[in-house]
C-alpha cells in the first residue's frame, strides 16, 4: 500500500472517530439534560408519603401491605407490617365496588390519654387491585363536639330550672292575689330566681368571651393589693351571711400585667367558692407572694375538701362537687371555669391543693410586672375589708 493511500486511510479513520466521538458527546449531553440531578419523581412521592401527617397504607389485591408511612403505625393501623382487620375488610369491599368507603379504625381499647381515641379512615381504589387507606386522628374534634353537646345540654338545663321556677311562682302569686303575705313570699322567691338567672347569663357571656384562652390585647400594670381589697369588698355580703371572716396578709406592693376587672372577678369567684363550701365560722384566708416571676394569690379554706379524682373536674363548666350545697347557695357552676380562663388569658394558671375533710387552697398564678414599675407604692382602695383579727393564714381559729 502506497504512502498516499495510507495517509488517506488514516485521515478517514480520524474523521470517523471525530464524528462518532462528537455524536456520543452530544448524546451524553442530551441524556444529561433529560435527567437533571436530584431525586426522581417516584422518590419525591415516597418522601411525601413518609412525611404525611395522616397515615397512608397501600394494599395489593391480596390485602397485603405494599407501602406505609410511620404515621400509620403511630395510629395503630399497621402493626408488624400487617394492616388492621377492619381496614383489610374495607379494602375488599372497595375492590369489588370501586367506590370510596369510610371506616372507623379507632382503638378498641383505650390505653391512656396519649393514645388516639378516634381514628377515622378512607379507603379508595387505585386500580389493578390496589387500594389506599388514609387515616387521621380525629380525637380532638370528637372531644370538642362532645364538649359542645354537653355544654348545650347543661346550659339548657340550667336555664330551664330558674325559668320554670319563675313560671310556677308567678302562677302562685296570681292564685294568692288576695293574700298580701303570700304574695310577698312568692314575689321574694321570684326575685331570687330572677337574680340567679341573671347571674347565670352574665357568667355565660363572660365565659364565652374568655373561652379562646388567648392573651389579652391590652395589658396594664395592676396593683395586686387593690385587686385583693376589691374582691374582699364584693365578698362582704357572703361573709356576713355565713359568719365567716376572711383573713389577709400584709400589703405586698406587687404588680401584675393584666385586666383589673377580670382579675377581681377571678379572685371574687375563688372567695365565693371558699365561703360556699366552708362550715359557718371556719377560717378563710388570702395570701400573696411572688415566686419565680409569678405573683401567686392563694385562697385557703378549711371546708369539705375535694377528692383527688375530682380536682381537675372542678374547673369544668357546670361541674359541682356538692350539687345540693351549690343549689342552696345559688351557685351557677361556672365560677371556677371563669377563673381558669382568666388565668390562661393572662398567661398564667390556677392550681389546686385539697384534702377531703381538711380544706382546699386555690392559687391564682399571674406573671409579675417588671421590677422597675414597683418603685411607686400602691395606692389605698376605698371600701376595703380590713384584716380580721384572731385569724392566721392557713390555720384554724
The more confidently predicted of residues 208 and 256 is: 256
Q: What is the pLDDT of residue 176?
A: 84
* Least confident segment among 113-122, 346-355, 372-381: 372-381
Tell me the pLDDT band of 154, cut-offs 50, 70 and 90. Answer: low
> Is 11's pLDDT higher than 70?
no
pTM metric for this prediction: 0.52
Interval 299-305 mean pLDDT: 89
Q: What is the pLDDT of residue 12?
A: 46
> Is 169's pLDDT higher than 50?
yes
> Is 2's pLDDT higher than 70?
no
Q: What is the pLDDT of residue 4?
A: 47
Tell me the pLDDT band of 33, cut-offs 50, 70 and 90. Answer: low
For each of the domains in the chain, give its residue range(s) and CATH number, in order of start.
Answer: 48-137 (3.30.450.20), 141-211 (1.10.287.130), 216-397 (3.30.565.10)
The more confidently predicted of residues 110 and 59 is: 59
* Least confident segment among 53-67, 99-113, 139-153, 372-386: 372-386
Residue bearing cell 387593690 = 226
Model confidence pLDDT, tens digit, residues 46-64: 888 888 888 999 999 999 9
Interval 210-217 mean pLDDT: 57
* Least confident segment among 75-89, 116-130, 196-210, 274-288: 196-210
Amino acid at each position: 500500500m502506497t504512502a498516499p493511500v495510507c495517509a488517506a486511510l488514516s485521515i478517514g479513520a480520524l474523521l470517523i472517530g471525530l464524528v462518532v466521538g462528537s455524536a456520543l458527546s452530544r448524546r451524553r449531553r442530551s441524556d444529561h439534560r433529560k435527567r437533571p440531578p436530584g431525586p426522581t419523581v417516584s422518590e419525591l412521592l415516597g418522601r411525601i408519603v413518609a412525611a404525611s401527617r395522616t397515615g397512608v397504607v397501600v394494599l395489593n389485591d391480596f390485602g397485603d401491605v405494599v407501602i406505609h408511612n410511620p404515621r400509620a403505625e403511630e395510629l395503630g393501623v399497621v402493626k408488624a407490617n400487617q394492616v388492621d382487620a377492619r381496614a383489610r375488610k374495607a379494602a375488599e369491599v372497595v375492590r369489588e365496588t370501586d367506590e370510596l368507603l369510610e371506616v372507623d379504625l379507632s382503638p378498641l381499647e383505650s390505653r391512656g390519654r396519649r393514645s388516639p381515641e378516634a381514628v377515622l379512615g378512607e379507603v379508595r381504589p387505585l386500580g389493578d387491585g390496589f387500594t389506599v387507606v388514609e387515616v387521621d386522628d380525629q380525637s380532638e374534634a370528637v372531644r370538642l363536639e362532645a364538649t359542645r353537646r354537653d355544654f348545650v345540654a347543661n346550659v339548657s338545663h340550667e336555664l330551664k330550672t330558674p325559668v320554670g321556677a319563675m313560671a310556677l311562682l308567678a302562677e302562685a302569686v296570681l292564685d294568692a292575689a288576695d293574700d298580701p303575705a303570700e304574695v310577698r313570699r312568692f314575689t321574694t322567691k321570684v326575685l331570687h330566681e330572677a337574680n340567679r338567672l341573671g347571674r347565670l347569663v352574665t357568667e355565660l357571656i363572660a365565659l364565652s368571651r374568655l373561652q379562646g384562652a388567648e392573651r389579652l390585647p391590652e395589658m396594664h400594670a395592676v396593683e395586686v393589693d387593690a385587686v385583693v381589697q376589691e374582691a374582699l369588698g364584693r365578698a362582704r355580703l357572703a361573709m356576713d351571711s355565713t359568719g365567716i371572716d376572711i383573713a389577709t396578709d400584709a400589703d405586698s406592693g406587687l404588680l401584675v400585667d393584666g385586666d383589673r376587672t377580670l382579675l377581681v372577678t377571678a379572685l371574687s369567684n375563688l372567695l365565693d367558692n371558699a365561703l360556699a363550701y366552708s362550715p359557718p365560722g371556719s377560717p378563710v384566708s388570702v395570701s400573696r407572694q411572688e415566686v419565680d416571676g409569678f405573683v401567686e394569690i392563694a385562697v385557703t379554706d378549711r371546708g369539705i375538701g375535694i377528692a383527688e379524682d375530682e380536682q381537675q373536674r372542678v374547673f369544668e363548666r357546670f361541674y359541682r362537687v356538692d350539687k345540693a350545697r351549690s343549689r342552696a347557695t345559688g351557685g351557677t357552676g361556672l365560677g371556677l371555669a371563669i377563673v381558669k380562663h382568666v388565668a390562661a388569658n393572662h398567661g398564667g394558671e390556677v392550681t389546686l391543693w385539697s384534702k377531703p375533710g381538711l380544706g382546699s387552697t386555690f392559687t391564682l398564678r399571674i406573671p409579675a410586672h417588671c421590677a422597675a414599675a414597683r418603685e411607686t407604692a400602691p395606692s389605698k382602695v376605698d371600701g376595703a375589708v380590713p384584716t380580721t383579727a384572731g385569724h392566721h393564714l392557713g390555720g384554724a381559729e
